[in-house]
Amino acid sequence: MSVFTQLKQQLSEQRSQLQLAQEWIQLKADVDLLAEESSLLGWLKSQNQHFPHFFFEKRDENQTIATIGAVETFSSLEEAQAFVQSNSLSLVGGIQFEGLCQFVLPRLMLVKNSQKLTAYLTLNISEQAVDFTDIFSNLGTDFFIQNHQILPPQPACTFEQWKANIEQAIIQIKSGDLRKVVLANATQLTFENHISAYDLVEQSREINLGCYHFLWAENAQNAFVGSTPERLYYRKGNQLFTEALAGTVAVSDNPIETEKNAQWLLKDTKNIYENQLVVEDIEAHLNTYVEAFEVHSPEIKRLHNVQHLRRRIEAILKADVLDQDCLRQIHPTAAIAGLPRAKATQFIAKNEPFKRGWYAGTLGIFNLQEAEFCVTLRSAKIEHNQITLYAGAGIVAESESVSEWQEIERKSQALAKLLS
């Protein structure tokens, strides 16, 4: 008997015995796991009647979350936070770069770790009998349908436009109007067949190690996916863990050269300055919300094709600080927008020839006890047979257009190479 069938039986038994005595009821079932019998992406892929879909594989912890459906939706942080405070349930979703907020209370949430698979089914007192048996049927396990690109890449920004934007940014930086701005590009690829978001994330999980892997799909045709190395924050009680991830250099096929690049990155003035700006921005925005704030020494975060300069940050939150405060104060960081934050986002809106949407936004999960959100980088938007790849680079006074262009090309390859 599969683990999904076992979960269905447990939840069905609990549902048949249930007497709703409060507004929200959450049924819980769990089963022991064998590694080969629990593909959450395969399960999600088969759920074509229940949306939205949310997939979130954590970077530093052996835990993966997959949800389907929305019993309740929230379009503001205040509404989402108030619900969590009142009901002690978990919400999933996030905030787009431009500020659009989307959180949901999922109908069904599966949480997988190395030993167990746990299901949470949420019901409302106003609902009549809820049939959830189809949720555990027709499980799909087939991945990687062959696809062929039929049109050349269509970048939103040519190199000439990119160079002009960087030159304009440097003028404003040298005048003191900006200290840093993060400029991005979006490249659209068109394929012969429908692109499966689930297949792409599954492939990325195998190659792009040391990352969060995420998927947000509002229907069967459109999804936002990615594999990002960057944490926005993790909260456990009143302990907060965040980071400054800024400064990039290549990873080579030659391990000696890769290590040489890493040592250069740890000493390079331009990249150290860029990273320090992110630290200062986070500290400034959290200053009145924390009891203590500690910044760790610089280290290298090495990925499949690039490596980054990172400083881990720990803080103790004041007693009355909520996740809505953390999200508002930390997002968007100087690593994805710039400094000063308001002027940098204005520059981006004026000069980038596309709307970022979920790119450089944040996705995650939160409840009263803990919260975890990633920064949605190394990401792509999928619409039917088209995919838009995103990548950005931090611009400071010492930036040079060719090297920054090469940086975003390397970053976009994290997903682009999986499509060839």
**Dist CA 386 CA 402 (whole Å):** 28
Q: Residue 164: count other Cβ atoms within 10 Å of its Cβ.
A: 14
Catalytic residue, from 230, 274, 352, 404: name it. 230
Which residue, 154, 162, 156, is CA-closest to 183?
Answer: 162
C-alpha neighbours within 13 Å on the C-beta side of residue 313: 28
- Residues contacting 125, CB < 8 A, separation 6+: 20, 21, 22, 23, 24, 25
Residue 394 burial (CB count, 10 A): 27
Among the listed residues 45, 58, 180, 381, the single catalytic one is 180
- Respond yes or no: is residue 180 known to be catalytic: yes
Given a contact cutoff of 8 angstroms between Cβ atoms, the answer to whether 239 and 228 are in contact is no
Q: Rounded CA gap, 109 and 121, in Å? A: 7
Q: State which amino acid sits at residue 384.
A: H
Taking every pair of Cα atoms in the chain, the longest distance, rounded to a whole number of angstroms, is 69
| Nearest alpha carbon to residue 47 among 140, 174, 165 | 140
CA 111 to chain centre: 17
Active site amino acids: 180, 230
